[in-house]
Structure 1
Amino acid sequence: MQDEQCRPVKKLSARLPEASLAEAGRELARLRRLTAESAEIGEELSQVVAELRQVAAPPDEPFIFTPVLAENERLLRAIFRDCDDIKYRAFKAGQRQALLVYLNWMTDLTLLEKNVLETLMTPGQGGQVSVDPGALVNQFLTSASLTVTYQASEAIEAVMTGNALLLVDGIAEAFTIGTVKHVKRTVEGAKSEGVVRGPQDAFNETLSDNIVLIRRRTRDPNVKIRVLKLGERTKTAIALVYVANLVKPGLVEEVERRLNLIKVDSVILSTTVEEALSDHPWTPFPQAQVTERPETMVAAVYEGRVGIIVDNTPFSLIVPCTYANLLQSTDDYTARPTVASLIRLTRHASAFLAIYLPALYIAIVSFHPGMLPTTLAISIAELRARTPFPSLLEAVMMEILLEIFQEAIIRLPNKFAGAAGVVGGLVIGTTVVQAALVNPLLVVVIATTAIASYTMPSYHFSMALRSLRVPLLILASVLGLYGVMLGVLAITTHMCSLRSFGESYLGGTLDITLLEDWKDMLVRFPVKFLRARPKELGPQERTRMGGGHG
């Protein structure tokens, strides 16, 4: 016993070499490798299972529905994995098991309970549920919006839209029930197209509301609305609005063809659609009229044009688009014809000033002061003598300051926009002049140019005019009035060469063969004289009153 007690204590690894720390480390590393390999094998098995499930499905479908409810539920749960807002409600429809799948917070649960659960779970009725989908639709489901589908992609899209999906054991089809209910903005006034006397309701971000605003303004069955889906992932709804017996033949088909060419993951803004419809992507001028006013779209489709409403944005598009369309406003038709004509002519003059006024100032002051009255020329020379910079640099500085303040006012919250405008006015109008950095007359010219661009009914057209001022300033500073004339010719030629679905952007305004269209283009005649639709747009029925069914 003593010998055993006195025997020295040895390490475990001395008796069991496999218990050493080094060996334990090697085994741990081996375990980690096995774990990683198991995870990879599990992922590969999941892919194999997914592929096996798709064997019987068409190439564009994730799977096909089967008569076995449990299998359908497993497939749907795999598709909606990690989507915690997808809810599953299992219940007994008589002797059959049923399942409701819906998107929480976007589904009207009251309609779901009343039209589905209460109906199918009522004692005495549920036991009669048939495996025939037609009998189930006609006898038991009381929802007004109900569709039977066998395509899984349609069912998945319906759920993600806010509809409910009903599956019944023994039936290989799914039932989509219209129960969409989600948060949306109410119909409010237009933010970017203010009018004095026109309607005060405007488009919002919900496609169904926008279509209702169109239908409220016309009860014509010839007004057609065709809904498309764009975006490989977002499946954004796009509505084409047109009058079937007025629209130019082939126009709707061409619009639809161009829309189908859009191959992108997401369509979130109408700008994506606008760029796809543009014939000339590099021009600064908009080639689709952007509006958020329903009456503008209704008036456009009755001229033979096509409206495009994009879901999730209040800004809709109208094509074709010409220069004359962009300078028209709802207020032109609420004022007296003489007043409206004068205002419209003022807009045309403002469009010219918004582009060319600073360039004309630079050209005359730098190269042709003799064109000015003597007293004005002397006054300008005295003012120029106090400033250290050449006229071109002064004008560019003012343009940069103006653009900075415009962007600041747009991006700031409404509470700060007014203050920023006051600060901008003081900096541009007072401080810069008192510091003798800029000629006071140039400040007047730049301010006039800015105000002229603000008179444009289309904000996007106003931005196009703003983008052309600096190139013209450079031409004027190099070549004087010759440079300005070159700029005028280049811009006019470019606008005449632009085409919007075959229609000339500016050519119709200058085409003497379209003299009849000038009655509602350059000016606005009284309504009783506007008996024909614009010839330029090629409508099928030109008579606006007293003839045809247009």
Structure 2
Amino acid sequence: MRIKNSFFKKKNSNHTPAPHETENFSLQLFTSVQENIENIQRMYGNPSDLVIRKLKIADISCCIIYIDGLVDSDLINSKIIKNIQFHQNTIDSTQPNTLLKDLTLKLLSVGEIKKVDTLDDVSLPVLSGDSALFVDGVKDALIISSKGSDGRSVEEPQSESVIRGPREGFVENIRTNTALVRKHFRDPNVRVKSYKLGKRSKKDVAIMYIDGIVHPDIVEEVERRLKDVDLDDIPETGFIEEFIQDSIMSPFPQLQHTERPDRVSAAIVEGRVAIFLDGTPFVLLAPSVFMNFLQSPEDYYERWAIGSLIRGLRYLGAFISVFAPALYIALVSFHQGMIPSKLAFSIASTREGVPFPAIIEAFLMAITMELLREAGARLPKAIGQTVGIVGGLVIGEAAVSAGIVSPIMVIVIAITAIATFALPSYSFGVSLRMLRFAFMIAAASFGFYGIVLAYIAVNIHLVNLRSFGVPYTVPFAPSFYGDWKDLVVRSPHTVMKRRPTYLMPRDTIRKKGKG
């Protein structure tokens, strides 16, 4: 069975551009340096961090403007101002137009210089950390690349523990992040396309993919949805994720986010698209399906048997985190006859004196565990770990001693919490924690029948869910048996010779040979 192109069917093909997409008006620059400065000051509100440095070159007035704190001050002082002051005698230009050309070719020792002629073309680069140079008598300005490099250095990812593999994590600079991926995957077919999102913030957004591997419809759909994002500001990729996902009401994440360059490079070589946003270390991967959230880069760095065992434990952990409390509630409340006699007597003795039914017990302990987890995440790391461990032990012991909950319930909730920690994706783990409460209510209402009905409802939702047109449950349904080599069991690399079929890559072979 092959995936048809309808998997990548476009939604809302009659796209109406947002108002900010159709605005083309921009004030032309003047030949007078002073008029241009006054317009820029008026546009910015004459801020205190706007630096205006006036110069004279061959009796022609010039001016450099930039925002203090956004630029590399050393570069401006040594490569621009110093060069102009000390080496201007090397040029013979007395006409403003030829002077602008000589500045570009002879005096400015920077990597990137661009000529612009409108106020908007000056404003946005200056607010991004570049400098603008005006020459009196010329209607053009030079935009000089001078962005500052201050920021967090590349270090180990904070949200994804690295057991084996590169200990590099993305930072808040979009160019550093794309460079980290290029360093991992040096293919000339890697494509990076940049956009501006946010009507007011004008944040830099980039998509990265490998031309010749990714299906063109996926790239087109990603670009179309990004253009539909209409916000004043986009501080984090979570805003983009909510706008471009297929189903906003689904509890399941439809895009994967990561801080790891090796995960991104592995994704794009399969035929997926990475979405970068300036100002955040989290990168989105599209499309993302159910199985992606149970995979980790370490699965491929270890030998296949170890990787398969660890991945199988994750699937088991996902099952336990959703079903364990519900199964306990159903057995204790409705199906006592299914419990072995000795275990049933043991459970009955521990529940003696407990004033609440099993569902109330489970809700009390589950909510307490969620509160402890959230408190531990918000507190400083050293204190948070202590609160999470000590708080759970103390509250659990106190609750059992007070006769509020039974010891077996504390064990069930503890195992459930541990199983949740085995999941490599935080957002996917939260989704399963939400479903846990729904299954607990179903179990308390109808026992095993309620659990089965809830399970059927979740599966109906999953098989109808899409991620950029790709069915969320592939390769389970629709079934692509070739992709099962990298599903619950991670087959040896020598066997996995083809890229995932469900992505419909243009180049299907990742390793020569039949497979």
Q: Work out whether the TM-score is over 0.5.
A: yes
Aligned counterparts, 1:138-149, within 5 A: 138-149=105-116
Q: Which amino acid aligns with 2:492?
A: P
Deviations 1:373-407 (A, max 9, x none): 01111111222222011111111111110111000
Which residue number corresponds to residue 238 of structure 1?
205
Report the Cα offset of residue 360 of structure 1: 0.7
> 2:424 aligns to what?
457
- Residue of structure 2 in register with 1:481 after alignment: 448
Whether contact under 8 Å (1:428, 1:443) holds in the other structure is: no
Task: Summarize the Cα distance change of 1:126–1:100 in structure 2 as closer, same or farther, 3 Å threshold.
Answer: farther
Deviation at 1:545, TM superposition (A): 1.7
1:529 to 492, 495, 498: 495
Please state how far the C-alpha of 1:117 moved relative to its aligned partner. Answer: 2.2
Aligned to 1:304: 271
Name the counterpart of 1:75: 39
Off by >6 Å, runs of 4+ in structure 1: none
Q: Residue 520 of structure 1 aligns with which residue? A: 486
What does 1:123-522 align with in structure 2 at a 5 Å threshold? 123-125=88-90, 128-132=93-97, 133-512=100-479, 514-522=480-488
Q: CA–CA distance in 2 between the matches of 1:510 and 1:69?
A: 65
In the TM superposition, what is the alpha-carbon distance from 1:507 to its structure 2 partner? 3.7
In structure 2, what residue type is equivalent to 1:105?
G
* Deviation (angstroms), 1:123: 4.9
Residue aligning to 2:72? 108
Measure how far apart 1:63 and its partner are: 2.1
Give the SS at the match of 1:542. coil
Distance in 2 (CA, whole Å) between partners of 1:144 and 1:203 is: 24
CA distance in 2, matches of 1:153, 1:220: 35
8 Å Cα contact 1:91/1:99 also seen in 2: yes
Identity %: 37
**Structure (1 or 2) with the larger CA radius of gyration:** 1
Q: Which amino acid aligns with 2:307?
A: A
Q: Which amino acid aligns with 2:60?
A: R
Return the offset for 1:83: 1.3
- Judged with a 3 Å threshold, the aligned counterparts in structure 2 of structure 1 residues 415 and 78 are, in CA distance, closer, same or farther, namely same
Q: In the superposition, relative to structure 1, how do residues 129 and 390 fare at CA in structure 2: closer, same or farther (>3 Å)? A: farther
Contact kept? 1:94, 1:120, Cα under 8 Å: no
1:124 and 1:135 map into 2 onto residues whose CA distance is 12
Partners of 1:129 and 1:455 in 2: CA distance: 71
How high is the TM-score relative to the length of structure 2? 0.92
- 1:464-513 superposed Cα distances (whole Å, 9 cap, x missing partner): 0011111111111110100000111111121111100111111422444x
**1:435 & 1:371 partners in 2: Cα distance?**
29
Matched, 1:540 2:500: no
> What is the SS of the residue equivalent to 1:148?
strand
Match of 2:4 in 1: none
CA distance in 1: counterparts of 2:162 and 2:35, whole angstroms:
58
Take 1:157 and 1:379, find their aligned partners in 2: how far apart are those partners? 71
Deviation at 1:283, TM superposition (A): 0.9
Counterpart contact for 2:26–2:118, Cα < 8 Å: no
Q: Is the 8 A contact 1:309 1:317 kept in 2?
A: yes
For structure 1, the 5+ residue unaligned runs are 1-57
Cα RMSD after superposing both structures: 1.7
SS for the counterpart of 2:327 is helix
Equivalent residue of 2:143, what SS? strand
Residue 223 (structure 1) shift: 0.6
Cα shift at 1:152: 1.4
Q: Which amino acid aligns with 2:84?
A: L
Contact 1:96 1:168 in 2 (8 A): yes
Label 1:88 to 1:268 Cα distance change in 2 as closer, same or farther (>3 A): same
Q: Is the 8 A contact 1:95 1:126 kept in 2?
A: no
Q: Does structure 2 retain, via aligned residues, the 8 Å contact 1:120–1:126?
A: no
Deviations along 1:490-537, whole A, 9 cap, x unmatched?
11121111100111111422444x111011122111111111001011
**Shift in Å at residue 354 of structure 1?**
0.8
| 1:91 aligned onto 2:55 | yes
TM-aligned CA deviation for residue 131 of structure 1: 2.7
Alpha-carbon spacing, 1:65–1:76, altered in 2? closer, same or farther (3 Å): same
Q: 1:183 Cα shift?
A: 2.4
Q: Is the 8 A contact 2:474 2:502 kept in 1?
A: no
RCO higher in 1 or 2 (8 Å CA, sep ≥ 6)? Answer: 2
| Distance of aligned partners of 1:117 and 1:130 in 2 relative to their CA distance in 1, 3 Å threshold | farther
Letter of the 1:184 partner, please give it.
G
Secondary structure at 1:307 match in 2: strand
2:9 corresponds in structure 1 to none
For 1:423 and 1:118, the matched residues in 2 are separated by: 61
Shift of 1:215: 1.1
Verify the 8 A CA contact 1:321 1:505 in the aligned structure 2. Answer: yes
Q: Kindly provide the CA deviation profile for residues 138-185 of structure 1, in whole angstroms up to 9, marking residues without a partner as x.
A: 344332210101121121111111111100001101101011114200
Partner Cα distance (1:529, 1:378) in 2:
51
5+ residue gaps in structure 2?
Answer: 1-21
